Chain A
Amino acid sequence: MNYLLNHAIDRSAERFAERTAFRFLDESLSYAELVERANKLAWTLAGEGIGRGDRVGIFLHKSIESPVAVYGIMKAGAVYVPLDPAAPVSRLRTTIQHCGIRCLITHAQKQQDTLDLLGAETPLECIIGLGAVDHPGIRAFGWDSLESAPGESAPNPGVIGQDLAYIMYTSGSTGIPKGIMHSHASALSYARMAAQTYGINHNDRLSNHSPLHFDMSTLDYFSGPLCGAATVIIPEAYTKLPVSLAKLIESERLSVWYSVPFALIQLLLHGLVEERNFENLRWVLFGGEPFPPKHLHALRKLWPQAGFSNVYGPAEVNQCTYYNIPDDEPESDMPLPIGKIWANAQGLVVDEKDQPVVRGEPGELIVRTPTMMRGYWQQPELNEQAFCQRKSAGGVPDVYYRTGDLVQEMSDGVLMFLGRKDRQIKTRGYRVELDEVESVLAAHATVEEAAAYLVAAGLDTASIQGAVILKSGQDEVDSEALRQHCARHLPWYALPESILLLESFPRTSSGKIDRRTLQGHAIERERSEIEL
């Protein structure tokens, strides 16, 4: 049987028991070891009353325990919810509350941060990964104590393909993060499609550059095990030190790379890659935001043996298009297409009334595919808006996901990405709703009105800037205090790089804040700074 994500490691353990499933620096787990440890965790969770549909949080830095947590939770029948280990406490507490997380998996490195999450109102009852927790109503189990649980087989929680496998939280425009729910069926469907599209096999060694709470991690965590390949987890520190990262790619003989363009640009510019041997690298996959063409061309010259593929798809559908750069594609400054809708997905480019546009006209991309999410956790209004129903011959409507992305279909069926319908932006591949940044700024007691906008002048990635008008008589507050306020509520990648204190905002004729003008001013300032 092969209808749940966790079946993949069981099948690969039957075929390749001794082959490496996951690596983290000097530590490795073979498929047999991964299955055994995941079974032990699953029984421990089952003993705590965790079963089908229960949400279990993962609060780990990247580590060899990460795949054990992911697969152990699913083997217990539960739904894994990866939490950003660097997110502010208030945001983590909100997610734990919103998602009703009773059990959290962590490790000693996160001891203090985990204790900070516990409060009087917490739904948490059980912490796995800490030997003891001095807090009323909390049971704790160290990783060592799992050893006594049975490892030969897993519990049978009766999960079916349509049940949830994971929930990933992302920026929400109202200020409350939204949880994207994926079922085993949608995620497995994606893992298979990606594996087939890129011909992943058991000799491959995949990078895991993305953290678990970032949706790009699913290719590394699911397509790899599905094919019996090895997935090499790249520690956070290496992702910030390109010279060390380049050494790791070489010594781990990685064959499939997948990351945001930003990581590849850092490697190119600061990784001393010309001194390294990347001969095993056969695929360079990238997505999450546009790749500046000049850097991409430089990388293609450095690694002529590798295929380069622009991967596109909102986390809500995992992936739905790709563009493999032809070997003979000439160098140009034109933006890279996102490619054609891939097999097993249908895409339509529609106008404001959901009617398909004439080919070549811009419109919103809507997608129907088995890799699509079930919806957002406990967000009925958002779920109303997220999907679009279209009549079908049989009388039961077809359901499409509205990507919110504006695209244009070229004569050969290839799609070009034009921009967003709303105020969602990408920075270093992370999705941020500018409305959320504004609502956090506006929530500060001294702030009358706030605006947030994107600035990208000469940098390799865009940065967010904010501007506020203070309430009268509040001149004691400075932008550093506002920055610290943001750092308590927003993830690091959503923090405004600078916050201006203004007397008034430019306005449109209808009196709305004219963010475009604010943005224009900011870009001019950046330019003049660069010229200085």
Chain B
Amino acid sequence: MDISEVLKHTSPQLFLPNIQATDKNSALTELVKGLIDGTEINNADNIMQMLQSRENLGSTAVGPGIAFPHGRTLSVQRLTILIGRCPEGVDFDSEDGDPTHLFFVLIAPPQDSGHQYIKSLATLIDRVQDADLRDALMAAEDYDAFCAAMKGDE
């Protein structure tokens, strides 16, 4: 799956460039609110519970300064990706102990044929290994600039 295909599952309404959260739980709350505000999804409590359960399985802060909260829930009809940026950084229980600045939230329905969201996760994780790209993503002025940086020379 290429990065352009992955980015089809997000939108300018699902881009939160300036998250103010100061801890993991408030970060998740802000991200879920962004999902509710930016889509027709309405079961915030269910999505929050699902994401918290996923974090209890193991922190999703696996990239350098990046977390990928994700999971499947009945509350969505299609794969939806929200992008969040936290300039100050937040403790998201990362393995290296460093603060998390960038979030890719992937929410998929239970029947996700072809495991689209697993493939999307893999593509995103692979793409953000480049330190220069991560700097560009944090500096991107808006959603379009963010997506252009993600696509790079593709």
Is chain B found bound to chain A in the same assembly? no
A residues whose Cβ falls under 8 Å from a Cβ of B: none
B residues whose Cβ falls under 8 Å from a Cβ of A: none
